[in-house]
Structure formats: C-alpha cells, structure tokens
Chain A
C-alpha cells in the first residue's frame, strides 16, 4: 500500500484530496490529510464581516464535512518534515511515512513580527480583518468609530489576497458615506509599494479611484514599528502616519514547521517549480496554494487553478511519466469597490490585468478592470460556489489557464 500525505486542509489541500481520491485506486493508495484546525473558514468572507454584510455562520463550517470517504483526517499540529527520509513528525509524536507529500499549509498573519503591533492595542486601536476573530473585533470598532483618522496599512509583500486592503478601503469609504459621516473620516492607504496600483494598465484605468473617493495615499512606506504612545505608524525612513484606527495586514509567513524542516525561504514559503509545483530537490514533494513561493498572487483562485493543473500531472508522475501540464500563474479576483459594485481582474505570470470582458457561459460576461454591479453579484455568488462546488472538487466552468478571449491588449 502506498501513502499520499497532504499537510493542510484549507482550500488547496481539501480540493486535492477530493479530486485525487476518486482517481487513485483504493487498493493501492491510502490518503491522509493533516490539519490542526477543526474549522474551515471561507476567508474571502472576512472582508465583509466588519461591515455587517456577512454573519459569522456564513464563513465557517467543519473541515471534516469536506473530507471525502476513504481519506483519513488527522487533527494534529505538524512538527517537521524530513524530506530525505520521507517522513512527517506530528505534534503528538506520531511519525507518518509517505510515498508522496503535498504541502498546502498556507500563509498566515504574524502581528508579532512588527514591534508595537501585537501588544495591548491589538484589537483595540490596531486591527486586522485577516482572521475570523480580528474581523469580528473590527466590526465592533467600526460600529463605535466616531470619526477621525482611519489608516489602511500593509506591512510587506507578499500577503494573501493582495487586493483585499484596496477592497477594505473602498468598502470603508462606502460604509461611512452611507452612515452620513464620511466627511468626519480621513482615510489613508499606506503601502510599501510605489502606489496603490503598480501595473501600468491597471494604474491607467483605476488610478483615479482614490482621488474620486478622497482617499490619501502614503506610498513606499516600509514600516519599522508602531508607536502606540503617539498612535502612529513609523517607517524606516522616519516618516510617521498618525491614526485613530489602523487596519493592518501583518507580515504573512508560512508555517513554522517549514522553517524547522529547512524547506522555506525567509518567510517560510517553499520554493518550487512554478509550472509543476514540484520541489527541486525532492521529486515526491509538491507545494500548492499560498504555502508555495511562486510569483503570482496568494489567493484561492490561484490554488484552484493550480490544483486543476496539478491533478493530471500527479497521476502521470506516480506512473513514472513526465508531467505534461504547466501552470501559467493564472489568477482571477473580484475587487469590491463599494455601493454594490465591483471590478474583476484576470491575469497570469506574463500578462498583467487588462480591460475587456471575461466570458462565463450561462452567467457572464463580466467586465474586466471596470466597476459594475454584475461583478459585485459575481463575488457574492462565489461563496455558494466555494462551499458547494469548489471544495468538493467538482468541475467549475472556469479554464485553469488564462485565456485572452475578451481581453483588450495594451497596444490596441
């Protein structure tokens, strides 16, 4: 009997076991999935919790519900991987040997990495919506906010769902406008990048969204610490951004066992081949989803497309055949822009987000790089698709590789 071990029962890991179990002979392959958390969170929903648009029960379900029959779910922490010995050591001392290993343990916010962030003010004047608890604490803070300086901040690249702070900013603008108190709230967007938009075509199309909404931009801001006496973010070049309420994206890092196992980069993300997700030194080790260090967005859509490419490759790989498919870095994200509208972007390693239409049989087309109500409804519809189609590994009418159909190239 051979054994496939999957570490992490999040978006990528859950999809992988659902897609592989029917395709692997049960007399030949055992599948084990390990995760320390019993609850599966619909993370895109965290964005809507602070504004009261989603309720807590909309974004959480038991992980076990999505693990198919014939797959063993072990609820346990992961201590380390010995990739030379093909073993995983679990937190309770259990040793799991494997023939093939998939690491899909994601990336997580680390407020303790920024001095001043993870102290008594965390959850009071310093917030994040990147965790379930954080999003709910922020909901209370927004309800009680009487006006002043609202700062939306991100510590460093890369972080998961890289458009989420933009969306939060637009939704906050709409939220306070609808409460009739927008003129009492000064919104500042603080980024380590050179602007809110860094790709030329997106910048040209979306650059005025900040001016239209009177959102201030503080760019190239590389944070050193938060001064909680002065209520200010302080950068390495000694700039200060004062706040009454700061909504930050803490540094994102992969799991600690990755570092302990000597597999990760400086942020515990694991370098793999960007077309096949195979580790360069271990030909039975694959990394999927946010845990991988590949040059595209850390996002559920990327994990979904990556799994679609991975599955046929993996089935050939275990037969000793070459992997034929290559992932192109395809990413597809709705961007909420407030007042019931949204944008859609679709891109890959080589093609930046372009304007045009995104065809979707039966539902679409959606508008790319432009604000429409249809895009907002697409985003809301997606929660149902996530729970009912995506996680169980059913086919979605979305091509895994990016298509140029409907897109308008830059030079036309």
Chain B
C-alpha cells in the first residue's frame, strides 16, 4: 500500500487515494481530504454524516452503503447528494477515511 502525506501527516492509501488504516484518520485530515475533492468547508451536517460512517464502520467492519446511511443513519438520499455532489457514496467514504465501496470485479 502506498504512503502519502496529507496535511503534513503520513497515511496509508490505496491507488485511488482512499485511506486504508482506520486509526490514521482524524478531523484535521478529513478537512484536507474534503478540500482534495472540492468540498471547501465541512458543515455541521457534513460532520454528522461522517461521524455516522465512522461509527458504523467500527461496528460492522464495512463501509456503509448510501442506502444504509440513508435508512439507518436517517439522512435523506437527496440531502446526501447535496452535501456530497454527484458521487456521495465514494465521497463520504473518502472523507471519512474508509475503504472505497466496491463490487466483486
């Protein structure tokens, strides 16, 4: 796994820049990760979603799907598309320092 420097901190990432080590993440990193994908400011609503993703991952060991964030986390899907435009599932995972959601091939 490649190591990269984000916000002055060395972290492990995959080929697409998704963090691969849950414990290397912190809130300062999240702000930098958000900037990397064009989200300049993380609002309170962004943080609530990111915290849900982090907590859910620590319980299940898997990056939650968009449907799970919506039905279990209680964030309406339309809202998630506004907060993380175009690709909410990928963007939420990226900022929350979780593995990229993927299929089998």
Residues of chain A with a CB closer than 8 A to B105's CB: 162-163, 166, 197-199, 202, 206, 335, 345, 353
Check A163–B67 contact: CB distance below 8 A: no
Interface locus among A53-61, A263-271, A382-390: A263-271
Check B102–A347 contact: CB distance below 8 A: no
Q: Which of A288-322 contact B (CB under 8 A)?
A: 295-297
Mask for A225-246, Cβ within 8 A of B = 1, else 0? 0000000000011000000000
A157 interfacial by beta-carbon distance below 8 Å: yes
Check B104–A353 contact: CB distance below 8 A: yes
Cα distance, A64 to B100, chains bound together (Å): 43
Cα distance, A338 to B22, chains bound together (Å): 42
Check B81–A156 contact: CB distance below 8 A: no
User: Taking beta carbons and an 8 Å cutoff, which residues of B are in contact with A?
Assistant: 15, 60-62, 65-68, 71-72, 77-78, 81, 85-90, 100-105
A217 interfacial by beta-carbon distance below 8 Å: no
> In chain B, what residue has the closest Cβ to A239?
B86
14 intermolecular pairs with C-beta atoms under 8 Å apart: A163-B105, A166-B105, A193-B103, A197-B103, A197-B105, A198-B102, A202-B105, A206-B105, A222-B77, A222-B89, A224-B77, A237-B81, A266-B72, A295-B62
Cα distance, A271 to B72, chains bound together (Å): 15
A-B pairs, 7 with minimum CB distance: A202-B105, A198-B102, A266-B71, A198-B103, A297-B104, A162-B104, A220-B87
Residues of chain A with a CB closer than 8 A to B86's CB: 220, 237
Residues of chain A with a CB closer than 8 A to B71's CB: 266
Residues of chain B with a CB closer than 8 A to A27's CB: none
A123 to chain B, nearest CB (A): 25
A115 interfacial by beta-carbon distance below 8 Å: no
> In chain B, what residue has the closest Cβ to A271?
B60
Name A199's contact: one of B62, B65, B72, B103 (CB within 8 Å). Answer: B103
A128 interfacial by beta-carbon distance below 8 Å: no
Residues of chain B with a CB closer than 8 A to A156's CB: 65-67
Check B101–A157 contact: CB distance below 8 A: yes
User: Taking beta carbons and an 8 Å cutoff, which residues of A are in contact with B?
Assistant: 156-157, 162-163, 166, 192-194, 197-200, 202, 206, 220, 222, 224, 236-237, 265-267, 271, 295-297, 331, 333, 335, 345, 347, 353
Residues of chain A with a CB closer than 8 A to B88's CB: 222
Cα distance, A390 to B77, chains bound together (Å): 42
Cα distance, A202 to B86, chains bound together (Å): 24
Check B104–A199 contact: CB distance below 8 A: yes
Beyond A199-B103, A296-B104, list 15 extra A-B contacts (CB 8 Å): A192-B66, A193-B102, A193-B103, A194-B100, A197-B103, A198-B105, A222-B77, A237-B81, A295-B62, A333-B104, A335-B105, A345-B104, A345-B105, A347-B104, A353-B105
Residues of chain A with a CB closer than 8 A to B104's CB: 162-163, 199, 296-297, 331, 333, 345, 347, 353
Residues of chain A with a CB closer than 8 A to B65's CB: 156-157
Check A157–B62 contact: CB distance below 8 A: no
Check A194–B68 contact: CB distance below 8 A: no
Cα distance, A347 to B103, chains bound together (Å): 12
> Assuming the A-B contacts A194-B87, A220-B87, are A265 and B68 also in contact, with contact meaning beta carbons closer than 8 angstroms in the complex?
yes
Residues of chain A with a CB closer than 8 A to B78's CB: 236
> In chain A, what residue has the closest Cβ to B68?
A266
Residues of chain A with a CB closer than 8 A to B72's CB: 265-266
A347 to chain B, nearest CB (A): 7
Cα distance, A345 to B105, chains bound together (Å): 8
Cα distance, A197 to B103, chains bound together (Å): 7
Cα distance, A206 to B62, chains bound together (Å): 26
> In chain A, what residue has the closest Cβ to B61?
A295
> In chain B, what residue has the closest Cβ to A298?
B104
Residues of chain A with a CB closer than 8 A to B68's CB: 265-266
> In chain A, what residue has the closest Cβ to B67?
A156
Residues of chain A with a CB closer than 8 A to B77's CB: 222, 224, 236
> Assuming the A-B contacts A157-B103, A163-B105, A271-B60, are A236 and B81 also in contact, with contact meaning beta carbons closer than 8 angstroms in the complex?
yes
Cα distance, A157 to B103, chains bound together (Å): 8
Residues of chain B with a CB closer than 8 A to A220's CB: 86-87, 89-90
Residues of chain B with a CB closer than 8 A to A297's CB: 104
Name B15's contact: one of A163, A200, A265, A333 (CB within 8 Å). Answer: A200
Residues of chain B with a CB closer than 8 A to A271's CB: 60
Cα distance, A266 to B65, chains bound together (Å): 10
> Assuming the A-B contacts A199-B102, A266-B71, are A194 and B90 also in contact, with contact meaning beta carbons closer than 8 angstroms in the complex?
yes
Residues of chain A with a CB closer than 8 A to B87's CB: 194, 220
Cα distance, A333 to B104, chains bound together (Å): 10
Residues of chain B with a CB closer than 8 A to A353's CB: 104-105
Cα distance, A222 to B72, chains bound together (Å): 18
A302 to chain B, nearest CB (A): 10
B23 to chain A, nearest CB (A): 19
